[in-house]
Chain A
Amino acid sequence: MVAETLLAIRDLKVHFKLGGDRVVKAVDGVTIDILRGETLGLVGESGCGKSTLGRAVLRLTEPTSGQVFYRDRDLAHLSGKQLREQRRHLQIIFQDPYASLNPRMTVGQIVGEPLETFRLARGREVEQRVQELLETVGLSKRFTKRYPHEFSGGQRQRIGIARALAVDPDFIVADEPISALDVSIQAQIMNLLEKLRREKNLTYLFISHDLRAIRHVSDRVAVMYLGKLVEIADAKTIYQEPLMPYTKALISAVPVPDPRIEATRQRIMLEGDVPSPINPPAGCPFHTRCPYAIDVCKEVVPQLVEIKPAHFAACVRISPKMPHIEDVPPGAAPGLE
């Protein structure tokens, strides 16, 4: 079966103007299809642009250029009214369950508001629907009269999820939904999101810096670095056989909860920090920290290439014929041939 594309993101850019002629290229030419029913994990370090990408897809942040196709319409160029109609199908869950719920509204009002905005229910129906939604996310339906401050972080995240579900969306951007939560609560929220995806046939863009969580929830994973996607593959493959040097370092840096594995593990240590997105390096954005960088990496911007079936990586030092950088002769750039 050929998977159906739900959202097609094409050369999406979000550039923020600072003073003078300084520009932050937060998202710089991202192209990817999000398939119906999948969880696409988007992973990267702080400042790589992953949250901006998530927001730009929903136009919570205005894209500078590019397209986002959903149901044959380009969300990036819809007018206000048309955009609002489409937004019903596209929702977001935020990282901070303390900041994303209005403290002056009751849980009933928070979860019921989208129902009224989109005229999906009225009067008593709203109340009933809210109660159903609360139970769906594992909260008591008696909570409708309470305020956000009466709840723990995990419970607030459940309220945020109920609010996103109220409009019966197709697609949800989950922006670091578990980062602010305790370990035992993280597992609960990951399991809840997975259960909802199966039951409601949802599609997720799951954004996180937590590689263990990403590995667990995602079907496919996209790795982002300084505004660009640098590798895309299915979740298992990208962990077992990362191809792009940044992904290799990222995966090797993840602490594994097993002292026997940790005792013998060889880590790829990266030098230095992520460069500033205000003045990103020319050529490959990763060349300043890459242990495999050669002169040509400072000049050529690598494109995402299908190195192995359904496994894309942006690195000029590898190619479909020479997928493993360890096997490439010193100084060679098979990706340029």
Chain B
Amino acid sequence: MSANGALLEVRNLRTYFDTEDGVVKAVDDVSFQLQRGETLGIVGESGSGKSVTNLSIIRLVQEPPGKIVSGEVLFKGEDILLLRPAAVRRIRGRRIAMIFQDPMTSLNPFMKISRQLMEMTQLHLGHTKGQAYEHAIRMLETVGIPDARTRADSYPHEFSGGMRQRVMIAMALSCEPELLIADEPTTALDVTIQAQILELIKKLKQETGTSVILITHDLGVVAGMTDHVLVMYAGKIFEQAKTTELFARPGNPYTKGLLRSVPDPTAEQGKLYQIPGLPPDVAHLKPGCPFAERCDRVEEICRREFPPFVELTTDHHSLCHFAHEVYGG
């Protein structure tokens, strides 16, 4: 365990992809910590590097074309990036579990739900068939599958999208992992089902003390679920802060723009703030700040020099030449 008691500490992570178009620096010098029992949100638009960051943590980046170029991923002080593949497999699924956006593509369509759950505990906890089956039923009950004992022997296609995501959560939590990484877990779901799944993750987190990394593009989900947030853009962390602080007092123009461009159902209608232009092509970043072209307070220095990662308070940082001004104003 590292000195400060963080469950996970990512230091200077760089994951690059070789493409026909040149080297894409999908994750470029990302550092953050996750404390025990905490939920960390990672927000960003497509191509911001939020998913690749997490695939790197659990060593699931496909190589080639991807490659973790440098950095450390300290899980209770042990660098996952230095472990041999067999050791990584013992961590993955057992101590760090994942759920993804689309439960249908993450479940084996030819295998009964019960067997897919049993595999987890037979492999990682050495359960016998009987123990594993009973554990599978208990997990399905925990995640709110009605009539779990009869439905356990169904195939994935017999379940609705929301039910499949519950199965994924049951599977992810069946070995009581210390860390759960949820990558857009509710994006494919309807809003009433999304509310059920988020509530379930919250409840299970409270009961088991699991730490959670929640990757999402939805600032509303971040607001309701997380303690800390990272905002990613073009492979970089643009801002990190406590969730309440980030929403109340953003210190980066990108975060500020993002917050203003989401319609607030409790507010009056009116013209929505829009960030102009398009996210940058990460393979061909210009010198200077990657957000400069779209930024409403851009100055000459932004196009010339890469911005510093400014400390606004001890746990609030922003990648911006004018972080203090944005934070203050």
- Interfacial residues, chain A to chain B (CB-CB below 8 A): 45-46, 152, 154-155, 182-188, 190-191, 194, 209, 211-213, 215-216, 235-236, 239, 249-263, 265, 267, 269-270, 272-274
Contact = CB atoms under 8 A, between A and B. Distances in A.
B265 A261 contact: no
B45 A272 contact: no
Nearest to A262: B224
B266 to A, nearest CB: 6
Contacts of B257: 184
A239 to B, nearest CB: 5
A261 B220 CA distance: 10
Contact of A255 (B224, B259, B269): B224
B199 A267 contact: yes
B62 interface: no
A258 B223 contact: yes
A182 to B, nearest CB: 4
A154 B45 CA distance: 13
B217 interface: yes
B278 interface: yes
Nearest to A190: B272
Contacts of B221: 255
Contacts of A272: 146
Contacts of B247: 257-260
A184 B274 contact: yes
Interface of B: 45-46, 146, 160-163, 190-196, 198-199, 217-224, 243-244, 247-248, 257-259, 261-266, 268-269, 271-276, 278-279, 294
Given A259-B247, A273-B163, A45 B219 contact: no
A194 B271 CA distance: 9
11 contacts: A46-B161, A184-B258, A190-B263, A212-B264, A255-B194, A255-B223, A257-B259, A258-B266, A272-B146, A273-B160, A273-B193
B162 A259 contact: no
A213 B191 CA distance: 13
A304 to B, nearest CB: 21
A260 B261 contact: no
A254 B264 CA distance: 10
Q: Top 8 nearest A-B pairs by Cβ distance?
A: A255-B220, A216-B263, A262-B224, A187-B261, A45-B190, A253-B195, A182-B45, A257-B219
Contacts of A154: 278
A282 to B, nearest CB: 21
A182 B271 contact: no
Contacts of A216: 263, 269, 272
Q: Tell me whether chain A's interface is mostly helix, strand or loop, or mixed.
A: helix
Given A183-B262, A184-B45, A213-B263, A260 B192 contact: no
B223 A259 contact: yes
Contact of B223 (A183, A190, A262, A274): A262
A183 B258 contact: yes
A274 B163 CA distance: 12
Given A191-B274, A211-B191, A255-B220, 13 more contacts: A45-B190, A183-B261, A185-B278, A188-B276, A209-B191, A211-B265, A212-B220, A239-B265, A239-B266, A256-B266, A260-B244, A270-B196, A274-B190
A230 to B, nearest CB: 13
Contacts, number: 132
A187 B273 contact: yes
B277 to A, nearest CB: 9
A212 B278 contact: no
A187 B274 contact: yes
Contacts of A258: 223, 247, 264, 266
B46 to A, nearest CB: 6
Contacts of B276: 188
Contacts of B146: 272
Contacts of B222: 257
A215 B263 CA distance: 8
B191 A256 contact: no
B220 A254 contact: yes
Nearest to B195: A253
Contact of B224 (A211, A250, A259): A259
A195 B95 CA distance: 51
Nearest to B259: A257
Contacts of B273: 187
Contacts of B265: 211-212, 215, 239, 251, 254, 256
B220 A257 contact: yes
Nearest to B242: A259
Contact of A184 (B243, B263, B264, B275): B275
Contact of B217 (A183, A249, A261): A183
A260 B242 CA distance: 13
Nearest to A154: B278
Nearest to B159: A273
A269 B191 contact: no
A15 to B, nearest CB: 22
A260 B264 CA distance: 13
B269 A269 contact: no
A213 B248 CA distance: 22
Contacts of B194: 253, 255
B45 A261 contact: no
B289 to A, nearest CB: 16
Q: Which of A184, A252, A260 is most buried by chain B, counting CB atoms within 10 A of its CB?
A: A184
A190 B274 CA distance: 9
Q: Which of B218, B262, B268, B271 is most buried by chain A, counting CB atoms within 10 A of its CB?
A: B262
A211 B218 CA distance: 13
A250 B45 contact: no
Contacts of B264: 212, 256-258
A302 B45 CA distance: 42
Contacts of A254: 191, 220, 265
A270 B224 CA distance: 18
B159 to A, nearest CB: 9
